[in-house]
Chain A
Amino acid sequence: MNQQEALFNYLLRLGDTAVIHGHRLSEWCSRGPILEEDLALTNTALDYIGRAEALLKYAADMEGKGRTEDDIVYKRGERHYYNALLVELPRGDYADTVARQLLLSVAEFHLFSALCNSSDTTLAGIAAKSVKEIRYHLSHAKDWCLRFGLGTAESKEKLQAAFNHLWMFTGELFEQLPSDNLLSQAGILPDLSNLKSLWTAMVNDVLTQCSITIPQDGYMQTGGMSKAIHTEHLGHLLSEMQYLQRAYPEATW
């Protein structure tokens, strides 16, 4: 694998995670608990889809096979998707949704802050734009974790259950693949060795404030970003997200 292929693969991992998470959030559209939250989540969903568009357009250019970002999103099956497993899990209830957003946003905050220093100016530019969005997502997710954690016995129980359930999918967020070394050597990927410790410190801090018990690190499920092997949920998600292209190939309007 050369550097160009390594970067293509890395961009797919970032872009796929963004588009799948954006789609999961968009499922809340018209189902939010109150109108204000409905809009907040759809705004966030659009941030992710915008980020995915930028990353996957760059990936398509990098690949140089004439594909567009839409081809990449709408014409691949689940065995060609490299998103983190965390984001393909069903959206669950509102506690599941904000817990997942917190775990993801903390990782993204540190990752994209680091990527702002990438020697690849396109990637650094996308990262700089994303960090502003991520800071807001993080603030919104933390706010709701605090409300649930310090709210009623039932809201706390649901939030705790959400963190317990999602925890085994967080290890994948820090996975480095052998091909990433090529990118590190070229300065495209900054040093990310402290990503996990930064994440742990921030997540532990928020969970403690929410009076949530920090789950123990145990078995970590991986395979989405490294091998495109997914949970049973991604295929269903794609069949809905790609419905139009599957039913009416090359449809335009």
Chain B
Amino acid sequence: MTQDSQLDLWEVFIQSKAGSHHVHAGSVHASDRQMALHNARDIYTRRNEGSSIWVVPANHITASTAEEADMLFDPANDKIYRHPTFYVMPEGAKQI
């Protein structure tokens, strides 16, 4: 990986409203946690998108590789019984 001249890379997760998941929004450059939070606020919550921010150093994220994809995900292709589609939805239930 080439040396990045713009400080360390952080991944940003934004929670749009209380109770919902933090969703990956993008990344920022920063030299520490505080700067990462400030930068994430300035870049990803300018239009009222957020109620909470997580920032995580990008090098702390362990990611699966493309080479592993067939081993990891293909076995799930033919296991439709894992989807809860064989149940009858109770009348009036909006979600289970």
Say yes or no: B29 contacts A36, CB within 8 Å.
yes
Contacts of A139 in B (CB 8 A): 38
On whether A36 and B28 interact (CB within 8 A), knowing A43-B42, A43-B46, the answer reads yes
On whether A39 and B35 interact (CB within 8 A), knowing A34-B6, A34-B7, the answer reads no
Q: Interface residues of B toward A: which range?
A: 10 to 19
Within 8 A of B (CB), among A91-122: none
Min C-beta distance of A181 to chain B, whole Å: 41
Query: Within the assembled complex, what's the spacing in Å between the Cα atoms of A36 and B41?
Result: 10
On whether A39 and B38 interact (CB within 8 A), knowing A34-B6, A34-B7, A34-B29, the answer reads no
Does B30 reach chain A (CB closer than 8 Å)?
Answer: yes
On whether A140 and B43 interact (CB within 8 A), knowing A34-B6, A34-B29, the answer reads no
Does B95 reach chain A (CB closer than 8 Å)?
Answer: no
Contacts of B31 in A (CB 8 A): 147
Nearest chain B residue, comparing its CB with the CB of A37: B39
Say yes or no: B34 contacts A40, CB within 8 Å.
no
Query: Within the assembled complex, what's the spacing in Å between the Cα atoms of A34 and B10?
Result: 15
Say yes or no: B6 contacts A140, CB within 8 Å.
no
Within 8 A of A (CB), among B10-37: 28-31, 34-35
A contacts, CB < 8 Å to B = 34-37, 39-40, 43, 136, 139-140, 143, 147
B contacts, CB < 8 Å to A = 6-7, 28-31, 34-35, 38-39, 41-43, 46
